[in-house]
Homo-oligomer: A and B are copies of this chain.
Amino acid sequence: MPGRERRSRLIDIIRLRGFAALDELVRELGVSESTIRRDLDALEEQGTARRTHGGVLYAGGLPRIAEFDEKQPANWEAKRTIAAATAKIIDDEETVLLDGGTTTYEVARLLAGRSLQVVTNSMPVANLFASESRTDLILLGGFVSPRTGVCLGPYTNELLSRLHVTTTVLSAAGISKQGLFNAQLLLAETEQAMLRAAGKVIVVADSSKFGRKSLTLVSGLEAIDIVVSDSGLSKEWQQTILDAGPRLILADIPAEDIDSVATDATAANTNMAP
């Protein structure tokens, strides 16, 4: 095989799999280890790949969504337990509308593979379901915001106006007595459209969000059916939410071990408030 073609196939293999072991490549391309090594060195040189002990990583890969690249997503642990508690109250065969945001993304991860219909305007979320044959995915189109990877704008809203779902999972930049706040004007409009399409409305927000306002008011608390947060939420806020109408679910930081946290919706101890 001519070197050009080999290296070309090499790139393809690496790009496709994200990672390839060296002996794997030796077998598949039918050349010696030395040759593969030399090719890999060249690829690393030019920046297409990154070598590791025993393999290569693709380096020219997909650019990542900025929001998901932060070093330490704020209150990560809390968000994960909230996500686990939320996934638990969603039943199979439902039609679920998922908002963008890191918390809803965690919810989505836990829902992946379940038998559901999922509607979303978030590309990161959609990617989780795109190849899941057990989950039907409806993507809301529109203008894609580069920072967050969510679809926005009039097209998105109009598509939403024709849909109806059983459950909507919304995120929020802040929650005050007046209701839900969001930091982006266009997104607020889209979330309002989501509320109109919704049956049951679930809002996921870690305790740091309460008492914080943001750019625009999305809706009042009375439009929300369930609020899921973590146990760090003060008694006062718990009462405020309950008085305004929504049910409140507080997810505890679980005491279980690593297995349940990462993979299992049963990880969180959910405390139903009265």
Residues from chain B with a CB closer than 8 A to the CB of A141 are: 138-142, 151, 155-156, 159
- What chain B residues lie within 8 Å of A132 (beta carbons)? 63, 146
| A76, B136: Cβ atoms closer than 8 Å | no
Decide yes or no: A155 and B146 within 8 Å by CB, A18-B57, A65-B131 being known contacts. no
Q: How far does the alpha carbon of A19 sit from the alpha carbon of B57 in the complex, in Å? A: 8
Asked if B139 and A77 sit within 8 Å, CB to CB, the answer is no
In the complex, chain B residues whose CB is within 8 Å of the CB of A5: 77
Complex contact B144–A139 (CB within 8 A): yes
- B63, A130: Cβ atoms under 8 Å? yes
Pair A258/B4 contact, Cβ less than 8 Å: yes
Q: Interface with B: A47-55, A90-98, A210-218, A234-242, which one? A: A47-55
Among the listed B50, B57, B138, B259, which residue makes an inter-chain contact with A46, where contact means beta carbons less than 8 Å apart?
B259
Partner of A48, one of B11, B43, B262: B262
Tell me if A137 counts as interface (CB < 8 A to partner B). yes
> With contacts A139-B139, A142-B138, A259-B46 known, is A149 near B131, CB below 8 A?
yes
Contact with B along A216-256 (1 / 0, CB 8 A): 00000000000000000000000000000000000000000
Chain B CB within 8 A of A1 CB: no
Given A46-B259, A151-B139: A130 and B159 interface contact (C-beta under 8 Å) = no
Interface assignment of A31: CB less than 8 Å from any CB of chain B:
no
Q: Does A126 contact B (CB under 8 A)?
A: yes
Interface residues on A, range: 35 or more
A256 → chain B closest CB, angstroms: 9
Q: Are B72 and A12 in contact (CB under 8 A)?
A: yes
A116 at the interface (CB under 8 A from B): no
A65 to chain B minimum Cβ distance, whole angstroms, is 5
B53 A54 Cβ-Cβ under 8 A: yes
Interface residues of A (CB under 8 A from B): 4-5, 7-9, 11-12, 16, 18-19, 21, 39, 42-43, 46-48, 50, 52-55, 57, 60-66, 68-69, 71-73, 76-77, 80, 109, 112, 123, 126-133, 136-144, 146-147, 149, 151, 155-156, 159, 162, 257-259, 261-263
Q: What 3 pairs between A and B have smallest CB-CB spacing?
A: A141-B141, A53-B54, A137-B144
Q: Give 27 pairs: A residue, B residue, CB < 8 Å, sorted on A.
A: A8-B76, A11-B258, A11-B261, A11-B262, A12-B73, A19-B50, A19-B57, A39-B258, A42-B259, A53-B55, A63-B130, A66-B131, A123-B123, A123-B139, A126-B144, A127-B127, A130-B144, A130-B149, A133-B146, A137-B146, A138-B141, A138-B142, A138-B155, A141-B141, A141-B142, A141-B151, A141-B159
